[in-house]
Amino acid sequence: MDWHPQSWRDKPVAQPVHYPDQEHLKNVLDKIAKLPPLVTPSEIERLRFQLDLVQQNKAFLLHAGDCAESFDACTHENISAKIGLILSFSLILIWGARLPVVRIGRIAGQYAKPRSSPKEKVGDREVLSFRGDNVNGLDYNERIPDPERLLRAYYCSATTLNYVRALLTSGFASLHHPSDWSLSHVRSPSLRREFESIVASLSDALDFSRTIGVAESGSGRSFEQGGRRGTVGEVEFYTSHEGLMLDYEQSLTRLLPMHSSSKQSYYNTSAHFLWIGDRTRQLDGAHVEYFRGIRNPIGIKVGPSMESEELVRLLDIVNPDKESGRITLITRYGAGKIDNYLSGHIAVVKQSGHPVAWICDPMHGNTLTSSQGLKTRHFGTIMSELTSCLRIHAECNSTLNGVSLEFTGEFNDEGFSVTECLGGSMELSEEQLGLRYQSFCDPRLNFEQSLDVAFLVSNYLKKQRRGEHTGELFDMFSELGGHLQKSSN
């Protein structure tokens, strides 16, 4: 294959960052290139194996976390809250679907963000756009791109990943104690009741297993993890970010032996899973060129501007051998547009013979501005795209294999969640958005709203598993105690 980690430099780069001091940038990149990998080939291969199961409908994919991480949020409280929410969400899915859940966090590297314009207005001043903490600062006096931020991004990613691994091997993820996963601050009685019901049933099941002498690991029904079996006290967890900063990604691309093989491949060791954004998927562009050569499983954002022929050509470029477990398509059309595009994309991918996992991102196509000028999303609109996605896949004899969400488990000292998205079972209004609006990027679902989504999807999967008529998903959600507000759109 006519590819090497630098071959992207011969292609046009979308969303470029212009550093005033190129020598400084080179010195920083040289340092990063000598630093240890953040993830290993064996972990990446294990994820590819599990994503193959997702494509076969033998597992469900949860891709979730912050829209963009900040260096200041690299604290043990925030990291614990994120992991706790991801574990709570996945437990609800497992209970309803009776399928393993592959957990990929938007964490330990999601520090960059694309922008529609290179400049923006801050007050009465025009400044360079904020591109994420690994490029420049949110303060308008720190908008000049600084290469040292790439180095800080590496160390914050390493610190975060180290703490996540420590949490998941220390009993934090034990299914014997799921109530420890930050549920104490959930204000909705119905959500708390539903979750506690699952916890009680799970505890009974575990007690029964111990009584009859079933071991906690090595069960024939356990989730095969690419040659590794899990236990009820330990879960697999993978990291991801948008592969936007190609200089940084190249510095962490290493030629390494493939797991259990004498062959070598190029692995991006900055994360297990990377995705190509909607703004950087040009067929002749630098990002597609870079992504086609790495061994990691990759995601591709698919929106209304993606032509059907373009999608198939893109798949041919990044996965010419049609390898399973390699490609995840992340659809993000918007609630008002999904009916116009998704079925066509499903049809051409089926016809092409490319194996893919289909997951729904109901967040990015449904952003609006509140009357107070805050960027927000309405829970009802998010649910509308998600339920339409489930319906269209069923109509096309296809399966939705997962969800991609922007959510946060953060809460303040008084135990209140963030207030960035409207609606949900807590019925958050526009007047309440400013109470605890903490995102410097896109609005995120808070803990309660995230569990609202988890119960909706779980109940749908449960009915699907039982062969029951799924009916109107909004009605099913209402049965769980949620109260959807009508979308303001």
Of 147-151, 331-335, 414-418, minimum mean pLDDT range = 414-418
The pairing of strands 367-369 and 375-377 is antiparallel
Of 22-31, 92-101, 219-228, 390-399, minimum mean pLDDT range = 219-228
Q: What is the pLDDT of residue 480?
A: 39
**pLDDT of 64 strictly over 90:** yes
Q: What is the pLDDT of residue 462?
A: 84
pLDDT single digits (tens) 261-304? 778 999 999 999 999 999 999 999 999 999 999 999 999 999 99
**pLDDT of 220 strictly over 60:** no
pLDDT single digits (tens) 336-373? 999 999 999 999 999 999 999 999 999 999 999 998 88
Determine the longest span between alpha carbons in the chain, in angstroms. Answer: 71
What is the C-alpha to C-alpha distance for residues 372 and 287, in angstroms, rounded to an integer? Answer: 37
Domain residue ranges of the chain, discontinuous segments joined by +: 7-173+235-480
Which residue did the predictor score with more confidence, 182 or 265? 265
- What are the phi and psi torsion angles at 402 (to 5°)? 175, 180
**pLDDT of 489 strictly over 50:** no
Residue type for position 476: M
332 is in an annotated binding site: yes
106 is in an annotated binding site: yes
Q: What is the pLDDT of residue 203?
A: 66
Q: What is the pLDDT of residue 27?
A: 98
Q: What is the pLDDT of residue 448?
A: 86
Q: What is the pLDDT of residue 222?
A: 46
| Average pLDDT over every residue of 161-169 | 93
| Average pLDDT over every residue of 330-336 | 97
**pLDDT of 28 strictly over 60:** yes
**pLDDT of 98 strictly over 80:** yes
Q: What is the pLDDT of residue 217?
A: 44
HEC readout, the chain: CCCCCCHHHHCCCCCCCCCCCHHHHHHHHHHHHHCCCCCCHHHHHHHHHHHHHHHCCCCEEEEEECCCCCHHHCCHHHHHHHHHHHHHHHHHHHHHHCCCEEEEEEECCCCCCCCCCCEEEECCEEEECCCCCCCCCCCHHHCCCCCHHHHHHHHHHHHHHHHHHHHHCCCCCCCCCHHHCCHHHCCCHHHHHHHHHHHHHHHHHHHHHHHCCCCCECCCCCCECCCCECECCECCCEEEEECCCHHHHHHCEEEEECCCCCCEEEEECCCCEEEECCCCCCCCCHHHHHHCCCCCCEEEEECCCCCHHHHHHHHHHHCCCCCCCCEEEEECCCCCCHHHHHHHHHHHHHHHCCCCEEEECCCCCCEEECCCCCEEEEHHHHHHHHHHHHHHHHHCCCCCCEEEEEECCCECCCCCECCCCEECCCCECHHHHHHCCCCCCCCCECHHHHHHHHHHHHHHHHHHHCCCCCCCHHHHHHHCCCCCCCCCC
Of 4-13, 178-187, 230-239, 344-353, minimum mean pLDDT range = 178-187
Q: What is the pLDDT of residue 211?
A: 63
| Average pLDDT over every residue of 93-114 | 93
| Average pLDDT over every residue of 447-456 | 88
**Quick one: pLDDT band at residue 194, thresholds 50, 70, 90?**
confident
**pLDDT of 245 strictly over 80:** yes
CB burial string 74-109: b at 16+ within 10 A, e below: beeebbbbbbbbbbbbbbbbbbbbebbbbbbbbbbb
- Mean pLDDT rounded to a whole number for the chain: 87
Of 20-24, 118-122, 335-339, minimum mean pLDDT range = 118-122
Q: What is the pLDDT of residue 218?
A: 39
**pLDDT of 56 strictly over 90:** yes
- Quote the distance between the C-alpha of residue 82 and its chain's center: 12
486 is in an annotated binding site: no
* CATH topology (fold) of 7-173+235-480: TIM Barrel (3.20.20)
Tokens 């791109």 locate to: 145
Percent over 70 (pLDDT), the chain: 83
- Cα of first residue to Cα of last residue in the chain, in angstroms, is 48
67 is in an annotated binding site: yes
- What are the phi and psi torsion angles at 275 (to 5°)? -130, 155
What is the C-alpha to C-alpha distance for residues 258 and 132, in angstroms, rounded to an integer? Answer: 33
| Average pLDDT over every residue of 132-144 | 94
**pLDDT of 482 strictly over 90:** no
Decide if 40 contacts 269 (C-beta within 8 A).
yes
Q: What is the pLDDT of residue 373?
A: 87
120 is in an annotated binding site: no
| Most confident residue range from 165-179, 282-296, 440-454 | 282-296
Q: What is the pLDDT of residue 83?
A: 92
pLDDT single digits (tens) 202-215? 667 666 656 665 54
420 is in an annotated binding site: no
